[in-house]
Amino acid sequence: MTSLAYLYWQWLRRDLAGRYRGSLLGLAWPVLQPLSQILVFTLVFHQFMRMRWPAAGGEGSALDYALNVFAGMAVFNFLAEVLNRAPAAILGQPNLVTKVRFPLTVLPAVIVGAAALHLVVGAVAVSLAMIAFRDASVLALLLPLFLLPMLLYGLGLALGLAALGVYLRDIAQVMPALTSLLMFLTPIFYPATLFPPGLGFVLQASPLAWSVEAFRKLAIVGELPGLGGFAAHLLASAVVMAAGAFVFARLRKGFADVL
């Protein structure tokens, strides 16, 4: 177990170092990239289209809009990174499949770990902004607990997509379009109150939408998300993770033949 953890840590470091090698700003990019998206969304939707984010005391300011979008983008970018990178996790390392003995589950798990690190950076950035410009809530300390279902969803999806990506190469081409669709269908740059009242159950059932709203409630609003929803998504995410591990184990035997 210790050697596996060490191997995972080394591959995670390798992944992050390879991504930011030669970059002057390094790990600042996980903050700067969503910031650039937030600036565009705030300019287009808040300034030009006059979209407002509900806040305590009435209509929210540009800062309220930016903070809520940043929180949404932090969670969305985690899932998008997992979905976009996982299909090539095994496919991009054929030598580890055919020439050496290697615990291949490490590869999709590293993708989840790197995405989770970026999520942590985003959560810290939102929390610091709340401390600087608003009244920060101690409930933000519960973010790791309430984001656990999203991490389990991500791990299950990463395992399943990594295995399927070896056999179905088109999956990697579909994912960018799918993640873009998810971004627009999830209340990330618009408030959940704009959803039709009859579709509220969709937001509760969506892992991404629920996690985004839980993040906002804890870090920005200062409210505790519903424990029933948390328990349901924790159970569902455990099922997804188990399903992903099952698919990976079943398909793993044929990796060497395909690669």
Q: What is the pLDDT of residues 207-251, one digit of tens each?
A: 999 999 999 999 999 999 999 999 999 999 999 999 999 999 999
- Supply the pLDDT for residue 56: 57
The better pLDDT of the pair 138, 30 is held by 138
On the question of pLDDT at 88 being above 80, the answer is yes
Q: Where is average pLDDT lowest: 56-60, 79-83, 111-115, 136-140?
A: 56-60
- Supply the pLDDT for residue 213: 95
The better pLDDT of the pair 259, 83 is held by 83
Q: What is the pLDDT of residues 163-178, one digit of tens each?
A: 999 999 999 999 999 9
- Supply the pLDDT for residue 39: 79
- Supply the pLDDT for residue 210: 96
Find the length of the chain: 259
Q: What is the pLDDT of residues 99-124, one digit of tens each?
A: 778 899 999 999 999 999 989 988 98
- Supply the pLDDT for residue 226: 92
Q: Rounded to whole angstroms, how far apart are CA atoms 148 and 91? A: 28
Q: Where is average pLDDT lowest: 2-11, 33-42, 60-69, 183-192?
A: 33-42
Give residue 204's Cα distance to chain centre.
Answer: 17
How far is residue 86 from each of residues 57, 79, 120, 160, 176, measured CA to CA in Å?
43, 10, 20, 8, 12
How far is residue 43 from each of residues 63, 169, 182, 194, 252, measured CA to CA in Å?
12, 38, 21, 19, 47
pLDDT band at 55 (very low <50, low <70, confident <90, very high): low
